Amino acid sequence: MTTYHPTALAVFCLIFLLVTMAGFWAVRWRRPEGGIDSLEEWGLAGRSFGTWITWFLIGGDLYTAYTVIAVPAALYGAGAMGFFALPYVIIAYPYMMLVLPRLWTVCHRHGYITFADFVAGRYGNRWLTVAIALTGILALMPYIALQLVGMKVVIAALGVTGEWPLGAAFLILAAYTYSSGLRAPAVIAIVKDFMLYIMVLAALIILPWKLGGYAKVFSLASAALAAHNPPASILLRPSQYLGYSTLAIGSAIALMLYPHTATAVLSASSANTVRRNAAMLPAYSFMLGLIALLGFIALAAGVVTKDPNQAVPLLFLKMFPEWFAGFCLGAVAIGALVPASIMSIAASNLFTRNLYGEFARTKATPMQESQMAKLVSLAVKFGALVFVLYLPAPYAIEMQLLGGIWMTQLFPSVVIGAFTRWMNPWALLAGWVAGMSAGTYMAVSLGLKSSVYPLHIFGGVCAMYAAIPALLMNLAVSCCITLALRSTGLAERPAVYGSDITAPEAYAD
């Protein structure tokens, strides 16, 4: 039976209204004299964001509503394995410090909007560029859908039934993204982060105190996990070590290659801004660890649900006064709006520049590019809404498993390409096909229920994140074909080598 929470719902709606007003106001914020009728202004906010705004934007981009819902849900349902998200973000930021400032410099110098633009300039191969763009769009669609799933979970917990609330939220999101572009999620991200920190600190101080302290929380959570079918634990089992570590490594590789990450990073005003953010963003890792503990607190509080994604909303509604529960659930919902906006902008940038733009007979004007991107962003959000409303939520989760595997396959072209042009573009394309095929096969063979694949090697079984063996196959194929082309002399031919139009001095540290 659904329980209605009128006070929590009223607070939730008030917060949503204020954020909506901020989203529409953002069109006036830092507006240049010529308006925002270009892809650089609409899709990257004119590359004008300083350290703090970029920090809020990247944080709002990477730490989504589904993070707040799914990471505690993983601990609630599977125990310690769900903590893989914490080491992966710790790994990600040194990687970000090394790679992203260099990519920002090249992209800024040449006016590139996406990482697929960078690949086009670096390798001069249309089909490799299209492969990179398609991978990004395919990986983003279920990711956007998951943000709406997170919002749907929150709305359902408040006792509101039917599809109209999610449809109304989608229309509001679509309207202010269309009018304000990247400026809207940048403004909202500031509000969202302050609310999330209040929510997390309150939950991690008040709730354990109500439950008798952290020692009791871990004791009760351990007992509850042991009663699960199959049993789980607050500690990793030896058989989980490899899967846990490869999940962390593979997820860190994929995180910085996602198009929405590229969009947030390329909106920064300088390479030093990106470096400073890589140094500051671990503050979010601390918050993520606190958010994850909510899964154990929900177990200790006796929250019972067949859907682990409901654990955090039900915990707030059970343990907090209704007005503060509404505040917390409002923070989670806003955490869906920010990344969903950025993701739809990133997908529309890819389509406009790297799919339509690669095959258009005449180059679009800046205004035509921005108009097309706005329309595509609407189509992307509409597609995600249909996905959520008419397909079961597990489909979006299962597709997201594939998204991480797919994005990892861009590592040779984008990350290695930022440091060396040694690999041949046709070899990279063949490696991409091999990695995508292998990774997809492994995930599908598991029924898309897990991304940890049991590899049979030398008579033993190694259970690891499917993205890692797929990436190793990708790299092996890319290197072997590059060596073969070089040994035959074919690599010197322009049709095979492609063209590198990026400036060598742009790669200097």
Reading the chain (509 residues) residue by residue, the pLDDT tens digits are: 467 788 888 888 898 888 888 888 887 777 776 667 788 888 898 888 998 899 888 887 777 776 788 788 888 888 888 788 788 888 888 888 999 999 999 999 999 999 999 999 999 999 999 999 999 998 988 888 878 877 888 888 887 776 777 778 778 888 888 888 888 888 888 888 888 888 888 888 898 999 888 899 999 989 988 888 788 888 888 888 888 899 889 988 998 899 999 999 999 999 999 999 888 888 877 888 888 888 899 999 988 888 788 888 889 988 999 899 889 888 888 888 888 888 999 999 999 999 988 887 778 888 888 889 999 988 888 888 877 777 666 566 667 778 889 999 999 999 999 999 999 999 999 999 999 999 999 988 988 777 888 888 877 788 899 999 999 999 999 999 999 998 888 777 777 778 889 988 888 76
Does the residue 15 lie in any domain?
Answer: yes
pTM of the model: 0.90
Instruction: Note the pLDDT of residue 192.
Output: 84
158 token code pair? 């408040």
Does the residue 165 lie in any domain?
Answer: yes
Distances (CA, A) of 213 to 171, 204, 302, 459: 43, 10, 15, 47
Number of helices and strands (H, E) in the chain? 23, 2
CB atoms within 10 A of CB 389: 14
CA distance 138 to 135: 5
Exposure of 74 by Cβ count < 10 A (0-12 exposed, 13-18 middle, 19+ buried)? buried
Question: Structural domain of residue 215, as residue ranges?
Answer: 6-391
Does the residue 410 lie in any domain?
Answer: no
CB atoms within 10 A of CB 496: 16
Instruction: Note the pLDDT of residue 22.
Output: 85
- The secondary structure of 2-53 as a DSSP string is PPP-HHHHHHHHHHHHHHHHHHHHGGGTT--TT-S-SHHHHHHGGG-B-HHH
Number of structural domains (the chain) is 1
CATH value at residue 281:
1.20.1730.10
Does the residue 449 lie in any domain?
Answer: no
Does the residue 307 lie in any domain?
Answer: yes
Does the residue 397 lie in any domain?
Answer: no
The answer to whether 117 and 358 have CB atoms below 8 angstroms apart is no
Does the residue 189 lie in any domain?
Answer: yes
Instruction: Note the pLDDT of residue 499.
Output: 86
Q: How far, rounded to the nearest angstrom, does the alpha carbon of residue 368 sit from its chain's CA centroid? A: 28
Does the residue 470 lie in any domain?
Answer: no
